[in-house]
Amino acid sequence: MKCAVIIFVKFPEAGKVKTRLGKDIGYDTATLLYTAFVEDMLHNMDESGLTPIIAFDSFNLKINTKNGWVIGLLSRSRATI
């Protein structure tokens, strides 16, 4: 049996990610934490030899561009989209 690890990500926009945490520590700081959490998770998967699949909203032009955030994640890990 084959397994897949699928990571669902959102574009890290202040006020759109980690909103409950952002109410206490500020939305910009919460966004930085979200970005770090995703990057750490992908790094740990790389270290484990896993190749996750990144899923995202392809209609969101902020992440679906050549210089977008997801493309940056892919360049630093084994992940695929």
The whole domain housing 13 covers 6-75
Give the model confidence (pLDDT) of 5-28 as tens digits.
Answer: 899 988 888 999 999 999 999 999
pTM score, two decimals? 0.79
Q: Is residue 81 part of a domain?
A: no
Q: Is residue 43 part of a domain?
A: yes
List Cα–Cα distances, 73 to 2, 24, 43, 53, in angstroms.
Answer: 24, 27, 10, 11
Q: Is residue 11 part of a domain?
A: yes
Return d(Cα 44, Cα 58) in angstroms, integer: 25
Give the model confidence (pLDDT) of 34-71 as tens digits.
Answer: 999 999 999 898 898 888 888 877 666 555 554 577 77
Q: How many CA atoms lie within 13 A of 76 on its CB side?
A: 13
Q: Is residue 42 part of a domain?
A: yes
Q: Is residue 1 part of a domain?
A: no
Q: Are the CB atoms for 52 and 42 separated by under 8 Å?
A: yes
Neighbours of 10 (CB within 10 A): 16
How many domains does the chain fold into? 1
